[in-house]
């Protein structure tokens, strides 16, 4: 019994001596940390392999429902004044609005070839009357870039949802059809044209959707989608208004026309006398 107790005592003392050494616990911590780090790296490697399996051959990521991922942080551009410094320019000819007052409409007419023409955009000039760089109001694709004998250089840029911005009266152009331009990129320099000589050095700027002109001042600093979201739109010509007036005149004429069922008092009395006369004649002719 004493020998067994001595053996147990000697074994316990050896373990105690082992753990009393300074390097034991740091070594245990390092080994534990290495095991945990290895496990984390192994788990991440497995997840990366699973993610690669969910991608297509061309590198397009798809979700678990095999739907293409959509970029949610895509920025939306707002219409901007087509000038590097919007504060350095001003509008010299406004858009012709059929709902505006007569005085406002007069300031939106362009006189050319002894005829007044409603302005389908706005004419912009610098505050000092000098030439300035014209920039793209929105990013898009150049659909047209050519010189016109009456309007000067003309640039048309197509955007989404059938929207197009038009720049006329340019002295030159730095883009050509098919170019991709970014918002704020210089597309030419303001100049003069034969159509609106009174505006001097300027750029004629239009916003159109599906061929219809809208007042650019109503959409400055607003997104392109505002063209379809607004419930009240500006008419680009007088055709719609004339049609409304025509319908109104027809409705008025129909309402004011006398009905066949309602006759004037004189006609009613005359018909009554004729009826009584016929009765008297019939009574006298009877045997």
Statement: residue 157 has pLDDT above 90? yes
Pairing relationship of beta strands 133-135 and 186-190 according to DSSP bridges: antiparallel
Residue 197 lies in a domain: yes
Q: Is residue 246 part of a domain?
A: no
Residue 190 pLDDT greater than 80, yes or no = yes
- Let me know whether 140 and 205 are in one domain: yes
* Shared domain check, 90 and 216: yes
Does residue 284 fall inside a structural domain? no
Q: Which of 12-26, 149-163, 249-263 has the lowest mean pLDDT?
A: 249-263
193 and 117 share a domain?
yes
Domain containing 208 equals 86-222
Do both 21 and 110 map to the same domain?
A: no
The pLDDT tens digits of the residues spanning 244-283 come to 444 444 433 343 334 344 344 444 445 445 555 554 444 4
Q: Which carries the bigger pLDDT value, residue 248 or residue 127?
A: 127
Q: Is residue 104 part of a domain?
A: yes
The proportion of the chain whose per-residue pLDDT surpasses 70, expressed as a percent, equals 62
Map residue 172 onto helix, strand or coil.
strand
Residues 32 and 143 in one domain: no
pLDDT for residue 20: 65
d(CA 218, CA 236): 14
Same domain, 150 and 32: no
- Nearest 10 degrees: Cα torsion 9, 13, 15, 19: 160
Apex 116 CA angle, 114 and 122, nearest 5: 130
Where does a domain end: 190, 205, 222? 222
Domain of 144, CATH number, reads: 2.70.70.10
Whether the model pTM is above 0.95: no
In a domain, 102, yes or no: yes
Q: Is 278 among the domain residues?
A: no
Q: What are phi and psi of 65, to 5 degrees?
A: -90, 15
For residue range 49-94, list pLDDT tens digits in order. 765 655 444 555 444 444 444 444 456 899 999 999 999 999 999 9
Both 41 and 137 in a single domain?
no
Does residue 239 lie within any of the structural domains? no
What is the total count of domains within the chain? 2
Q: Are 158 and 211 found together in one domain? A: yes
Say if 115 falls within a structural domain.
Answer: yes
d(CA 28, CA 277): 136
């Amino acid at each position: 019994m004493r020998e067994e107790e001595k053996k147990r005592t000697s074994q316990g003392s050896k373990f105690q001596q082992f753990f009393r050494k300074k390097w034991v616990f740091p070594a245990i911590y390092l080994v534990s940390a290495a095991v945990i780090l290895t496990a984390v790296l192994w788990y991440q490697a497995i997840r990366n392999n699973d993610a690669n399996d969910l991608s297509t051959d061309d590198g397009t990521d798809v979700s678990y429902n095999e739907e293409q991922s959509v970029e949610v942080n895509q920025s939306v551009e707002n219409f901007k004044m087509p000038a590097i410094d919007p504060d350095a320019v001003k509008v010299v000819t406004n858009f012709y609005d059929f709902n505006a007052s007569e005085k406002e409409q007069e300031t939106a007419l362009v006189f050319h070839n002894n005829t007044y023409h409603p302005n389908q955009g706005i004419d912009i000039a610098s505050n000092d009357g000098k030439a300035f760089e014209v920039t793209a109001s929105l990013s898009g694709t150049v659909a047209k870039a050519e010189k016109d004998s009456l309007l000067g250089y003309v640039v048309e840029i197509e955007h989404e949802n059938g929207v197009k911005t038009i720049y006329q009266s340019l002295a030159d152009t730095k883009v050509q059809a098919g170019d991709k331009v970014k918002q704020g990129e210089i597309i030419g320099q303001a100049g003069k044209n034969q159509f609106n000589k009174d505006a001097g050095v300027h750029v004629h700027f239009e916003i159109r959707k599906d061929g219809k002109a809208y007042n650019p001042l109503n959409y400055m600093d607003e997104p392109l989608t505002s063209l379809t979201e607004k419930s009240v739109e500006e008419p680009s010509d007088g055709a719609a208004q004339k049609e409304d007036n025509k319908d109104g005149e027809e409705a008025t004429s129909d309402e004011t026309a006398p009905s066949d069922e309602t006759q004037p008092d004189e006609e009613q009395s005359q018909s009554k006398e004729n009826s009584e006369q016929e009765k008297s004649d019939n009574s006298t002719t009877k045997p």
